[in-house]
Amino acid sequence: MKRSRYIAQKVGWALLTILFVITLNFFLFRVLPGDPARAGVRDPRLTREAVEAIRVRFGLDKPVINCFQSLNPMETGDCFINPLDTQFFIYVGNLLQGELGISYHTNRPVADMLMEMLWNTLLLIGLGQILAIVLGMSLGVLAAWKARTAVDHGALLFSLTAWSLPTFWLGIILLFIGSSYWGLPIGGRLTPGTVYNTSIERWLDIGNHLILPTLTYTIVFLGEYMLIMRSTLLDVLSEDYILTAKAKGISTFQILKDHALRNAMLPMVTIIALNLGFTVTGAIQIETVFSWPGLGGAIFTAVNRRDYPMLQGAFLLIAISVIFANLAADLFYSYLDPRVEDS
């Protein structure tokens, strides 16, 4: 009973936050200076009629919200128009139908473009995170268990180095090594011009392209996870209840498994959730270096081209993924630590 109430409360807050983000996200792009109709098509020869046509096409002729033509308070407009026929409510209405507007640059629906790229990003991030979590945590546990030995020092040195490496630099170096010596593709998702006989062949090609970006991503996050796992586990191992377990005659392995790891997981869950949420953007550097057609690269391009609907959609997606990652962390936390639900 208590548990379901806790879950309902957390989900409720997440939904409320999303509503807030939608509103903020909308106005954020409306207060930006400049005329999106002109910014989209950067050509000074454009006639007034053509600009007006673009305005109508993208719905920019409508007031932002009732009474306000734009967010500039000097430009108050007609207050007696139908409130639902304003940019904000049209936006919300479209959003409810899964419409995110049309990209200024490609003239394709933003939702379709984002979905394609989201899958690519999720593939890269998912693989990279899983590898980084598994390897980083194992290395952290090993280092903490063998604390202050050669194993520990080696693992520490490796992780600190991995953590400090600039992502784009590591990517370029790996790209150089991988493509010159290991015969791996230099970028993209598929080898251009290839005809695939089966879907297995296609997936193998994607896998081949995934190796280098995933490796870069894994190394970047592995160091952080290892260091945090090691230090929290060392903290936990010095707790009184570990001494109790030792006094009970429990073996070191069992102490680690039954008593230490679960407690040491608590800060790890928080860090992983934070990383997962921000990871969509965190992949920008890797996706750009490896020309991986994912969200990060798309945001980079959209910023360059002032493709506001695209950015707006991407921001919303990122915000929602941060919120959901946090929600997942909250729920997993309550499973790991029974004290959470009661507080």
Partner 1 sequence: MSVTDLSTDFLLESAPPAHALVNVSFTLREGEVLGLVGESGCGKTTLMLSLMRLLPANGRITSGTVNFMGQDLLDLGENAMADMRWKHIAMIFQGAMNALNPVQRVGDQIAEAIVQHNYIQEKGVVDGRVAELLDLVGIGPERRRQYPHQYSGGMRQRAMIAMALACNPQIIIADEPTTALDVMVQAQILELLDTLRQRLGLSILFVTHDLGVVAEMCDTVLVMYGGVTVEYASVDTIYNDPQHPYTRELLRAFPDLSRPTEKLASIPGHPPRLNALPPGCRFAPRCPAVFDRCHTEQPALHQVKLGHWASCHLVERM
> Do residues 289 and 171 touch, judged by C-beta distance below 8 A?
yes
CA-nearest of 216, 213, 194, 193 to 204 is: 194
Helix (H) or strand (E) holding 150: helix 150-164
The backbone torsions φ and ψ at residue 76, rounded to the nearest 5 degrees and listed phi first, read -70, 135
Using the rule CB under 8 A, which residue among 250, 269, 271, 274 binds partner 1?
A: 250
Least spacing, CB of residue 254 vs partner 1, in Å: 8
Produce one character per residue of 82-101: b if its CB has 16 or more CB atoms within 10 Å, e if not. eeeebbbeebeeebeeeebb
Closest distance of CB 9 from partner 1, Å: 20
Q: How far is the CB of 314 from partner 1 (least distance, A)?
A: 38
Piece of the chain touching partner 1 by CB under 8 A; list 18-26, 72-80, 320-328, 334-342: 334-342
Distance CA 325, CA 179 (A): 34
Minimum CB distance to partner 1, residue 231 (Å): 17
The stretch among 22-30, 95-103, 151-159, 242-250 that binds partner 1 (CB under 8 A) is 242-250
How far apart are CB 133 and partner 1 at their closest, in Å? 20
Block residue for tokens 């260091």? 227
The reply to whether 268 sits near partner 1 by the rule CB under 8 A is no
Please give the single-letter amino acid code of residue 329: A
Whichever of 105 and 259 has its CB closer to partner 1, that residue is 259
338 contacts partner 1 (rule: CB under 8 A): yes
Identify which of residues 2 and 42 has a Cβ nearer to partner 1 in the complex: 2
Choose between 138 and 244: whose C-beta lies nearer to partner 1: 244
Closer to partner 1 by CB, 76 or 254: give it.
254
31 with 71: CB under 8 angstroms?
Answer: yes
Instruction: Supply the minimum distance, in Å, between the C-beta of residue 236 and partner 1.
Output: 10
Q: Does 246 bind partner 1 (CB under 8 A)?
A: yes
Using rule CB under 8 A, residue 339 touches partner 1: yes
Q: What is the DSSP string of 222-257?
A: HHHHHHHHHHHHHHHHTSHHHHHHHHTT--HHHIII
Neighbouring-strand partners of residue 68: 65, 76
C-beta of residue 219 within 8 angstroms of C-beta of residue 225: no
Q: How far is the CB of 329 from partner 1 (least distance, A)?
A: 16
Q: Which listed residue (259, 289, 299, 313) binds partner 1 by CB under 8 A?
A: 259
How many residues make contact with partner 1 (CB under 8 A)? 22
Site string for partner 1, 186-225 (x = CB under 8 A): ----------------------------------------
Pick one of 245, 280, 298, 323: the residue that binds partner 1 (CB under 8 A): 245
Is residue 262 a contact point for partner 1 (CB under 8 A)? yes
Among 49, 249, 253, 304, which residue interacts with partner 1 (rule: CB under 8 A)?
249
Q: Where are the alpha helices (DSSP H) in 31-106?
A: 36-40, 48-57, 87-96
| CA max distance for the chain | 85
Beta bridge partner(s), residue 102? 109
Q: Give the separation between CA 264 and CA 262, rounded to whole angstroms.
A: 5
Task: Based on the shown chain and the rule CB under 8 A, indicate whether residue 79 belongs to the binding site for partner 1.
Answer: no
Residues 105-164 that bind partner 1 (CB under 8 A): 148
**Contact (CB, 8 A) for 27 and 312:** no
- The residues pairing with 338 across neighbouring beta strands, listed in sequence order, are none
Binding to partner 1 by residue 334, rule CB under 8 A?
no
- What are the residues binding partner 1 (CB under 8 A)? 148, 239-241, 243-251, 258-259, 262-263, 336-339, 342
